[in-house]
Chains A and B, each alone.
Chain A
Amino acid sequence: MTGPALLSFGETMHDLATDVEVPKEGQNLFQLRSLSFSYADGHRALQDIDLDIFPGDRIALVGQNGAGKTTLVRHLNGIYTNQAGSLLYKGQSIQGDNLIRARRQVGILFQDPDDHLFNNTIYEDVAFGPMNQGLARDVVDERVRKALERVELDHLMFKAPNNLSLGQKKRAAFAAIMAMEPEVLILDEPTANLDSRQEKIFDELLLDYRGTLICISHDLLFLYGLCSRAVVLDHGKIHHDYSLKELVSHRASLREHGLDFTFRFIDCCHSSESHDHSKESHEHTESHEHSENLDHLALSQSDKETAVRIITPPMESVPDEKSQVIRLENYSFQYKDGTWGFKDINMTVKEGEKIAIVGENGAGKSTLAGCILGVKQGSGKYYFKNDLIMHSARGELWRQIGMVFQDSSDQLFCPSCEEEVAFGPKQMGLSPLELEKRVTEALALVKLSGFEKRVPMNLSGGERKRLAIAAVLSMRPQVLILDEPSANLDPRNEELLLHILHDLPVTQILISHDMFFVNNSSHRTVVMNQGSILSDLPTSDFIEDEHLVGHQLDYAYKNVCGREIMKMQEAVENGG
Chain B
Amino acid sequence: MAIVAIIIRRLLKAARDRKAGHHHRHEHDWSVPVIDACSDLDSVFHKWDPRLKIFSILVYCFLVAALTKIIWAFCALIISLAAVKLAKIPFRNTKRRLMAMFGFLGMFLVIMPLTVPTQPGDLLLFFQPIPVPFNVRGLLVAIRIILKAFAIALIMEPLLNTAPLPVTIQALRHLRVPDMICQMILLSHRYIFVFLNEANRMYTGMRVRGFRQKTNLATLHTMGNFLGMLFVSSFNRTQRVYEAMLSRGYNGTFPVYTDFFARPKDWLFGIAWILLGTGLLLLDRTGAFIIW
Contacts and interface: CB of A to CB of B under 8 A. Distances in A.
Interface stretch (A238-246, A264-272, A313-321, A375-383): A375-383
A334 B22 contact: yes
A171 B248 CA distance: 16
A116 B244 contact: yes
Given A6-B166, A103-B249, A399 B261 contact: no
A132 B204 contact: no
Given A124-B166, A375-B204, A103 B259 contact: no
Contacts of B70: none
Nearest to A79: B243
Interface string A98-141: 00100110111010101111111100100111011100000000
B30 to A, nearest CB: 11
Contacts of A475: 209-210
Given A1-B260, A3-B258, A129 B209 contact: no
A9 B257 contact: yes
B111 interface: no
B193 A379 contact: no
A549 to B, nearest CB: 33
Nearest to A337: B31
Interface in B154-179: 163-167
A9 B207 contact: no
Instruction: Give the interface residue-count category, chain B.
Output: 35 or more
Contacts of A79: 243, 246-247
Contacts of A398: 207-210
A6 B255 CA distance: 9
B225 interface: yes
A386 B150 CA distance: 52
A412 B258 CA distance: 44
B14 to A, nearest CB: 11
Contacts of B256: 6, 119, 124, 127-128, 131
Contacts of A8: 257-259
Interface in B183-197: 186-187, 189-191, 193-194, 197
B209 A378 contact: no
Contact of B165 (A120, A180, A411): A120
A2 B202 contact: no
Contacts, number: 194
B209 A12 contact: no
Nearest to A173: B244
Contact of B210 (A409, A413, A428): A428
Interface stretch (A19-27, A298-306, A400-408): A400-408
A180 B24 contact: no
A414 B241 contact: no
B27 A12 contact: no
Contacts of A118: 187, 190-191, 241, 244-245
A511 B232 CA distance: 28
A128 B205 contact: no
B258 A5 contact: yes
Interface residues of A, number: 79
A114 B193 CA distance: 11
B260 A2 contact: yes
Contact of A427 (B209, B232, B251): B209
A5 B260 contact: no
A424 interface: yes
Contact of B247 (A77, A410, A423): A77
A10 interface: yes
A336 interface: yes
A471 B209 CA distance: 9
B50 interface: yes
Contacts of A176: 248
Contact of A162 (B29, B193, B228, B261): B193
B248 A129 contact: yes
A205 to B, nearest CB: 18
Given A1-B266, A5-B164, A5-B166, A377 B209 contact: no
Interface in B249-276: 249-251, 253-263, 266
A132 B251 contact: yes
B241 A410 contact: no
Contacts of B246: 78-79, 103
A415 interface: yes
Interface in A67-115: 74, 77-79, 100, 103-104, 106-108, 110, 112, 114-115
B209 A10 contact: no
Contacts of B50: 2
A132 B249 contact: yes
B226 interface: yes
Contacts of A4: 259
A472 B208 CA distance: 9
A103 B266 CA distance: 42
Contact of A120 (B190, B202, B210): B190
Q: Give 5 nearest A-B pairs by CB, closest first.
A: A427-B210, A132-B249, A3-B259, A411-B205, A131-B255
22 contacts: A1-B260, A3-B260, A5-B167, A8-B258, A9-B255, A12-B251, A103-B246, A118-B244, A120-B165, A120-B186, A132-B251, A180-B248, A334-B22, A378-B23, A409-B202, A410-B198, A410-B202, A410-B205, A411-B202, A413-B222, A426-B218, A457-B229
Given A374-B208, A423-B222, 11 more contacts: A1-B260, A3-B259, A12-B253, A79-B246, A107-B247, A402-B208, A413-B225, A414-B225, A424-B209, A424-B210, A427-B212
